[in-house]
A and B are shown apart, each in its own frame.
Chain A
Amino acid sequence: MATDALTISGLHAYYGDSHVLYGVDFALKPSRVLALLGRNGAGKTTCISSIMGLLPPRKGEIKLFGKTVSGLPPETISRMGIGLVPQGRRIFPTLSVRENLIVAAQRQSEGEKPWNLDRIYDLFPRMSERRNQLAGSLSGGEQQMLAIGRALMSNPKVLLLDEPSEGLAPLIVQEVGRTVQRLKDEGQAIILVEQNSQLALEVADQVVILNTGEVAFDGTVEDVRANPDLITQNLGVFHGH
């Protein structure tokens, strides 16, 4: 049996004194997309911050291809192979588009087709056009592409995408969806956090639903589609169509 790309077991996380995650377990298989869904405040972003090491877990273990990453500083976790596209994008506003990408470059040689500046410009031609523009002056959609490109520059083994469609126009959301699909086709393992469950279900293989800091459901996309109540109960939205 192949090693899981990312294993999370018994994860407890706190913001100060407030307990946010209560023993979360799930695992991501290599080259798969896992959609992490849940209401606002269910603990999705906390989960992502814990994986990245930005919020060190109080209890539990996180493993990347069998190697423990929990407890390590974020820069080490990044270098071990986890890439983050954070909620709110958080590109470096006073750096140019090109600088945003080159400061994140790592591991040039690994993999068959490593990500580099040229390949990111191929993926997002708009970034190439705006390479010398300050990132802070980009539109929201462009900033999202830059944030994805920046995360890819580290050639991550697992990519964390935290609400990539948040606050974007429908056309741009479609483009983000296409990008995620393309990365999946290239074999990139992805954890995708989304409020837009439709977008997430289109591209995901596996779905984990968090409810008040615990895993309420862990199964395949087919399971979710066969059981629409899951979405209504745990996400509090009617899943039309």
Chain B
Amino acid sequence: MQSSQTRTVLALLAVVLVGALGFSYIASIRSAQFAIVQTLNSLALGGLLFLLAAGFSLIFGLMRLANLTHGALFMLGAYIGANIMRSYEGVSLWVAMLGSGILVALMGGVLERFVLRKLSSNSLGQVLVTLGMSFIIADACLIIWGGDPIPVPTPPDLRAPIRLFGYAFPTYRLAVVVLAIVAAVALYLLLERTRLGAMIRAGVDDMAMARAVGIPVSKLFTAVFMLGAGIAGAAGVLGGPIMSAYPGLDADMLPLALIVVILGGVGSLFGAFVGSFIIGFVYTFGTALLPDLAYVILFLPMILVIAFRPQGLFGRIAA
């Protein structure tokens, strides 16, 4: 059993590796600058996807709740951030990110406490409500901010590309990757090195037993939901200079996050991290090189995983 699982993982990793090599070969035919830009695009998208998927995965792992509002929270975060920066001259992107993250976290807290809490034993109801909430949020954004995309300015310090070995590297995308990695390390430390994190993992292991030893599971649910929502909101702002805020951003991001989570394994932070960068590369190079087949290339790894390893590359729970 153990060895067959290991073999599946190795086989899948081999597939991914061969795919990546293939892409870089094609890329090398185009031009090195093309390959560099697309690679950084892939990494930046992977970083944003990680911020989205980590919260989604954490919420699912603890609460067994597929929060389909997650894409809408990302978009809402992007709009709020764009709005803050437009309204207050001189506010930096980082401050906007923080403000937007806090606002979206509070909204997530309200959603969990007053809506999802009432449906705690009804998983189908929860899925439908979170889907409905995502439509409501999307329409509210459309009413408030209109149908035209709102650009989010790149921080002035990060506008000029870095020049190395005669090639130009887009600085802001590098910053996104670095921030995503910092967030991943912070989340890892929170989950693996603190008592709060141990309580969350205890809840994932055995919810009833966690309650019986006095872990305040109800508060934990709200905290984790707010954390996931807040990270999604902040990620929306962080992605702003690359993607801007536009109607449909939610629907563009949510399926990618779902694929990441299924690929990496539900409830696994490491799985979300690896899955995000795999999908970042597959999606970016797929749309750049084979635009007609982009979605086939995107969904194929997910189908393979569902067929051969339903718990995902690094997960323990079957999706």
Q: Which residues of A contact B (CB under 8 A)?
A: 52-54, 73-75, 78-79, 83-84, 86, 90, 92-95, 99-100, 102-104, 106, 150-151, 153-154
Evaluate whether A95 and B213 lie within 8 angstroms (CB atoms) in the complex, with A54-B208, A75-B218, A102-B195 already known.
Answer: no
Contacts of A73 in B (CB 8 A): 211, 218
Contacts of A83 in B (CB 8 A): 213
Contacts of B214 in A (CB 8 A): 75, 78-79, 104, 106, 154
Q: Is B19 an interface residue (CB 8 A)?
A: no
Do B213 and A94 touch across chains, with their CB atoms under 8 A apart? no
- Counting residue pairs across A and B whose Cβ atoms lie within 8 Å, the total is 67
Chain A nearest Cβ from B53, distance in angstroms: 20
Do B212 and A78 touch across chains, with their CB atoms under 8 A apart? yes
Do A102 and B198 touch across chains, with their CB atoms under 8 A apart? yes
Docked pose: A106 CA to B301 CA in angstroms: 46
Docked pose: A102 CA to B201 CA in angstroms: 13
Q: B198: nearest residue on chain A (CB-CB)? A: A99
With contacts A54-B212, A75-B217 known, what are 18 further pairs, Cβ within 8 A? A54-B211, A74-B208, A74-B211, A74-B212, A75-B212, A75-B215, A78-B211, A78-B212, A78-B214, A86-B212, A90-B206, A95-B205, A99-B195, A99-B198, A102-B195, A103-B215, A104-B214, A154-B214
Docked pose: A154 CA to B201 CA in angstroms: 19
Do B216 and A75 touch across chains, with their CB atoms under 8 A apart? yes
Chain A nearest Cβ from B174, distance in angstroms: 35
Quick one: CB contact mask for B186-216 with A, threshold 8 Å, 1 for yes? 0000000001001101101110111111111
Within 8 A of A (CB), among B265-319: 316
Within 8 A of A (CB), among B58-81: none
Q: B195: nearest residue on chain A (CB-CB)? A: A102
Contacts of A78 in B (CB 8 A): 211-214
Quick one: CB contact mask for B152-171 with A, threshold 8 Å, 1 for yes? 00000000000000000000
Contacts of B212 in A (CB 8 A): 52-54, 74-75, 78, 84, 86
Interface size class of B (residues with CB under 8 A): 20 to 34
Evaluate whether A94 and B205 lie within 8 angstroms (CB atoms) in the complex, with A102-B195, A103-B195, A103-B199 already known.
Answer: yes
Do A103 and B202 touch across chains, with their CB atoms under 8 A apart? yes
Do B211 and A86 touch across chains, with their CB atoms under 8 A apart? no
Do B208 and A92 touch across chains, with their CB atoms under 8 A apart? no
Contacts of B215 in A (CB 8 A): 75, 103-104
Do A93 and B195 touch across chains, with their CB atoms under 8 A apart? no
Contacts of B209 in A (CB 8 A): 86, 90, 92
Chain A nearest Cβ from B314, distance in angstroms: 13
Do B202 and A75 touch across chains, with their CB atoms under 8 A apart? no
Chain A nearest Cβ from B178, distance in angstroms: 30
Chain B nearest Cβ from A120, distance in angstroms: 13
Docked pose: A73 CA to B220 CA in angstroms: 15
Do B205 and A93 touch across chains, with their CB atoms under 8 A apart? yes
Q: Can you spell out 11 A-B residue pairs with CB atoms less than 8 angstroms apart? A: A74-B208, A75-B212, A83-B213, A86-B209, A92-B210, A99-B198, A99-B201, A103-B198, A150-B213, A154-B213, A154-B214
Contacts of A153 in B (CB 8 A): 213
Docked pose: A83 CA to B205 CA in angstroms: 19
Within 8 A of A (CB), among B99-139: none
Contacts of B204 in A (CB 8 A): 94
Contacts of A74 in B (CB 8 A): 208, 211-212
Contacts of B210 in A (CB 8 A): 92, 103
Contacts of A103 in B (CB 8 A): 195, 198-199, 202, 210, 213, 215
Chain A nearest Cβ from B217, distance in angstroms: 6
Contact with A84, one of B206, B213, B216, B316 (Cβ below 8 angstroms)? B213
Chain B nearest Cβ from A85, distance in angstroms: 10
Docked pose: A93 CA to B210 CA in angstroms: 12
Q: B197: nearest residue on chain A (CB-CB)? A: A99
Do A92 and B211 touch across chains, with their CB atoms under 8 A apart? no
8 tightest A-B CB contacts, nearest first: A78-B214, A104-B213, A74-B211, A99-B198, A92-B205, A92-B202, A90-B209, A75-B211
Docked pose: A53 CA to B195 CA in angstroms: 24
Docked pose: A75 CA to B202 CA in angstroms: 13
Q: B217: nearest residue on chain A (CB-CB)? A: A75
With most chain B CB atoms within 10 A of its CB, the pick from A54, A78, A100, A103 is A103
Docked pose: A53 CA to B217 CA in angstroms: 14
Contacts of A79 in B (CB 8 A): 214
Chain B nearest Cβ from A101, distance in angstroms: 10
Docked pose: A151 CA to B206 CA in angstroms: 15
Q: B214: nearest residue on chain A (CB-CB)? A: A78
Do A92 and B195 touch across chains, with their CB atoms under 8 A apart? no
Docked pose: A11 CA to B212 CA in angstroms: 20
